[in-house]
Chain A
Amino acid sequence: MVDHVRAESAGTRVAWRVIVYGLLILVAMYYLVPLFVMLTTSVKTLDEIRTGNLISLPTQVTFDAWAKAWGSACTGADCGGLKGNFWNSMRFVLPAVAISTLIGAFNGYVLTQWRFRGSDMLFTILLVGCFIPFQVVLLPMAQTLGWLGLANTTAGLVFVHVVYGLAFTTLFFRNFYVSVPEEMVKAARIDGAGFFTIFWRIILPLSPPIIVVCVIWQFTQIWNDFLFGVVFSSGERQPITVALNNLVNTSTGVKEYNVDMAAAIIAALPTLFVYVVAGKYFVRGLTAGSVKG
C-alpha cells in the first residue's frame, strides 16, 4: 500500500518535471525566435525573403546585406551605411562611461566614508535624477547645448550622458561602499592617510566588482540610448540607434529586410558581446540600478 502510493507519486513527479521542462523550453524558444529570425533573414537574398517564410532556412547564405548595412545603406540623406555611426557611438559612449563611473566612485566614497552634515539629504536630492522622465529636461538642454556651442557634437553627447548618468553611478558606488567597515577607513585616517590616499590604497582595491557592474550598466544604457541621440544630434553625428531607426524607416525604394536585420544585429553586437562575456555582472547591475527604464 505504502509502496503503491510512493510509486504513484514518483509517476506524478516525473510528469510534473516533464511539464516544467516543457514550459521552460517553450518560453526559451519564444525568446530565441526573434534572434533566429533576424540572423536567418540577414543572410537571405531578397528573392528568398519574398518566396520563403520567417523561419525557413536560407538555401544560399550571402553576406551582401551585412556589407550593405555596414558600408552603403542609406540612413536618411546619407548613404554610407552604419559604420560611421558605429564609431560615432563608440566615440561618445566610452568617454561618457569612463567619466560617469569615475565621478560616481568618488561620490559614493564621500557619501559613505566621509559623511558630513546633510550628506544623506544630498544623496536623496541626487537620487531624484534616477526617476525623472528625461522628456522634462530635453527642451532646456537643447537650448543650453546651443549656448555652450555643444549642439550636435560628440562632446555634447558625452556631457548629456555624464550629467544624467551620475545619479545611477553614484547610487551603485554608494550602495557598494556602504558595506565597507568604517573602522578600516577610521584607522587609516588616524595613521594620517588623506582623502585620496585612502581611496587609492583601501577603497579602490575593494572596488573591481562594482566598477565592472557600473561600467557594464552605463555602457549598455548609453549605447542603447535613442532619446538623447535623436534630440541632440543630426546627420553624420548620429549614434547608431538613431541611424538604425532611420535606415529601417526610410520609405524610399525597395524595402530590404535583410539589410534591416543585418543593421539591427550590428547595432546590438557590442551590448550582446558584453552580455555574453559578463552576464553575471550585467544582471547584478540590472537588479541594483533597475529604476532606470
Chain B
Amino acid sequence: MNAPVAGSSRPHRSALDALEAALPKIVLGPTLICSLLFVYGFIAWTGVLSFTRSRLLPNYEFVGFTQYLKLFENERWWVALENLGVFAGLFVFVCMAVGLLLAILLDQKIRAEGFLRSIYLYPMALSFIVTGTAWKWILNPGLGVERLVRQMGFPGFTFDWLVNPKMSIYTVVIAGVWQSSGFVMALFLAGLRGIDDSIIKAAQVDGATMPRIYWSIIIPSLRPVFFSAVMILAHIAIKSFDLVMALTGGGPGFSSDLPATFMYAFGFTRNQIGLGAASAMMMLATVVAVIMPMMYSEVRRSRRG
C-alpha cells in the first residue's frame, strides 16, 4: 500500500520495493508450482496412462476405455471392491461406536483421565506396519489366540481367520479398529467438552434422566463431530494399504485385497501400468465422492470464520 509512495520519493529503491511487494507471491510460488505439477499434473498424467496400453513401461498408444473394461472384468478387482465395502463399513461403524462410548465414559469426571486417554491413543503413534506385525502374531493360527484359548480349557477352539479366505478381511478390521478407535474417542471428547453446560443443567432441573439427556441433547449436538469422524475414517479406509500388506499381504490368495493393494500389485509388481492407473483413478473417484461434502462444508466454514 505504501510502496508507490516510497518508490516516488526515493527512486533508487523502487526495484527493491517492487521485490518486497512481490515477496509474498514469490514465497508461495514454489509450493503452488509443486501442487500444480505433482498433484494436479500427476493426476492428469495417471488419467492419461489409464487410457493407454502401458504395461511394463508407459506407452502412449491410446486404447480408450479398454483398461477400465479390463478392470471391471477382473475378478480380483471385484474382490478388492467387495472387501473395501466390508472393511470400510465395519471399520467406520465400530470405530465410531467404540470412540463415542469411550468419550462418554471418560467424560464422567474420571480419575486418571489423562492416563487412560493416552493409553487409548498410543496406537495412533505406530505405523500400520507395526500394528499389522503385532496382530499377525496375536492372530497366528496355532500359536496365537487359538493356543491361548485352548490352554484355558477349550481344546476344540479354532481361530484361523488369518489363513481363512472367507474371514481374512475381518482380521484387517480388528487391527484397524485397534489402531484408530482411540483417535475417534479424542474427537468426540473434544466435542463433548465443547457443549454448553447450562443446557444440560436446565434439562436436569426439568427432571430428565442422564441417558435421556445424552440421547436427545448431547449426542444430537455432536452432529458435526459425527460428520467429520465418518469422513476421516472413510478416507483412511479407502487409502488402507500398509495394514493389509503387513497383516495378510492381501492373502490368502487375494482374498483380503483392497483397491490400494490391487493398484500396487498391478502398477508395480505385475507390470500392468495401464490397469494400475485405471484402478488408481477409480480410487480417486471414490475419495472425491466421499470427501466432496466435507470439503464443501470446510470451505464454507472457513469463509464464515
Complex contact A267–B25 (CB within 8 A): no
Looking at the complex, which one of B102, B121, B148, B236 makes contact with A53 (CB distance below 8 Å)? B148
Give the segment of A70-78, A205-213, A278-286 that binds chain B: A278-286
Give the segment of B133-141, B200-208, B213-221 that binds chain A: B133-141
Whether a CB of chain B sits under 8 angstroms from the CB of A143 is yes
Complex contact B118–A279 (CB within 8 A): yes
Q: Which A residues are CB-close (under 8 A) to B240?
A: 293
Q: Which A residues are CB-close (under 8 A) to B25?
A: 116
Q: Which B residues are CB-close (under 8 A) to A35?
A: 122, 134
CB distance from A151 to the nearest CB of B (A): 13
CB distance from B226 to the nearest CB of A (A): 14
Complex contact A49–B119 (CB within 8 A): no
Whether a CB of chain A sits under 8 angstroms from the CB of B163 is no
Complex contact A272–B125 (CB within 8 A): yes
Complex contact A248–B31 (CB within 8 A): no
Looking at the complex, which one of A111, A164, A248 makes contact with B38 (CB distance below 8 Å)? A164
Complex contact A131–B121 (CB within 8 A): no
Whether a CB of chain B sits under 8 angstroms from the CB of A249 is yes
Complex contact B127–A224 (CB within 8 A): yes
Complex contact B276–A126 (CB within 8 A): no
Looking at the complex, which one of B101, B106, B129, B187 makes contact with A290 (CB distance below 8 Å)? B187
B256-293 vs A: 1/0 string, CB under 8 Å?
00011001100110000100110111011001000100
Looking at the complex, which one of A32, A50, A110 makes contact with B143 (CB distance below 8 Å)? A50
Complex contact B145–A103 (CB within 8 A): no
Whether a CB of chain B sits under 8 angstroms from the CB of A163 is yes
Whether a CB of chain B sits under 8 angstroms from the CB of A93 is no
How many residues does chain B have at the interface if contact means C-beta atoms less than 8 Å apart? 97
Complex contact A139–B133 (CB within 8 A): no
Q: Which B residues are CB-close (under 8 A) to A260?
A: 133, 137
Whether a CB of chain A sits under 8 angstroms from the CB of B157 is no
Complex contact B120–A27 (CB within 8 A): yes
CB distance from B162 to the nearest CB of A (A): 13
CB distance from B184 to the nearest CB of A (A): 10
Q: Which A residues are CB-close (under 8 A) to B298?
A: 127
Give the segment of B64-72, B73-81, B241-249 that binds chain A: B241-249
CB distance from A230 to the nearest CB of B (A): 8
> Bound complex: CA of A34 vs CA of B175, how far in Å?
10
Complex contact A140–B145 (CB within 8 A): no
Looking at the complex, which one of A55, A142, A267, A268 makes contact with B148 (CB distance below 8 Å)? A55
Complex contact A290–B183 (CB within 8 A): yes
Q: Which A residues are CB-close (under 8 A) to B232?
A: 290-291
Complex contact B284–A53 (CB within 8 A): no
Total A-B pairs in contact (CB under 8 Å)?
263
Complex contact A31–B119 (CB within 8 A): yes
Complex contact A132–B20 (CB within 8 A): no
Complex contact B281–A226 (CB within 8 A): no
Assuming the contacts A166-B34, A194-B20, A260-B133, asked whether A31 and B182 have C-beta atoms less than 8 A apart, the reply is yes
Looking at the complex, which one of B38, B137, B190 makes contact with A261 (CB distance below 8 Å)? B137
A41, A103, A139, A189: most-surrounded residue (chain B CB, <10 A) = A139
> Bound complex: CA of A54 vs CA of B2, how far in Å?
72
Q: Which B residues are CB-close (under 8 A) to A53?
A: 143, 147-148, 151
Q: Kindly identify, within residues 16 to 55 of chain B, every residue whose CB is under 8 Å from any CB belonging to chain A.
A: 20, 23-25, 27-28, 30-32, 34-36, 38-43, 45-46, 49
Q: Which B residues are CB-close (under 8 A) to A31?
A: 119-120, 122-123, 178, 182
Q: Which B residues are CB-close (under 8 A) to A287?
A: 186-187, 190
B267 to A, closest residue via Cβ: A139
Complex contact A126–B35 (CB within 8 A): yes
Assuming the contacts A131-B287, A137-B46, asked whether A106 and B133 have C-beta atoms less than 8 A apart, the reply is no
B135-175 vs A: 1/0 string, CB under 8 Å?
11110100111011001000000000000000000000000
> Bound complex: CA of A257 vs CA of B136, how far in Å?
10
Q: Kindly identify, within residues 216 to 241 of chain B, every residue whose CB is under 8 Å from any CB belonging to chain A.
A: 228, 232, 235-236, 238-241
Whether a CB of chain B sits under 8 angstroms from the CB of A264 is yes
> Bound complex: CA of A282 vs CA of B43, how far in Å?
31
Q: Which B residues are CB-close (under 8 A) to A194?
A: 20, 23
Complex contact A248–B120 (CB within 8 A): no
The 10 closest A-B pairs by CB, nearest first: A224-B127, A114-B24, A275-B125, A293-B236, A226-B242, A137-B42, A140-B45, A140-B42, A293-B239, A264-B133
Listed by A's residue number, 13 A-B pairs whose Cβ atoms lie within 8 Å are A20-B105, A28-B116, A37-B138, A54-B144, A135-B263, A141-B42, A189-B2, A224-B129, A227-B242, A245-B129, A248-B133, A272-B126, A286-B124
Interface residues of chain A, those whose CB is within 8 Å of chain B, are 17, 20-21, 23-24, 27-28, 30-35, 37-38, 41, 49-50, 53-55, 103, 106-107, 109-111, 114, 116, 119, 122, 124-129, 131-143, 163-164, 166-167, 170, 178, 189-190, 194-195, 220, 223-227, 230-231, 241, 244-245, 248-249, 257, 260-261, 263-265, 267-268, 271-272, 274-275, 279, 282-283, 286-287, 290-291, 293
Interface residues of chain B, those whose CB is within 8 Å of chain A, are 2, 20, 23-25, 27-28, 30-32, 34-36, 38-43, 45-46, 49, 58, 98, 101-102, 105-106, 108, 110, 116, 118-138, 140, 143-145, 147-148, 151, 178, 182-183, 186-187, 190, 228, 232, 235-236, 238-242, 245-246, 249, 259-260, 263-264, 267-268, 273, 276-277, 279-281, 283-284, 287, 291, 295, 298-299, 305
Given A55-B148, A133-B239, A133-B287, 7 more pairs with CB closer than 8 A = A54-B144, A126-B35, A132-B39, A136-B46, A195-B20, A245-B132, A261-B137
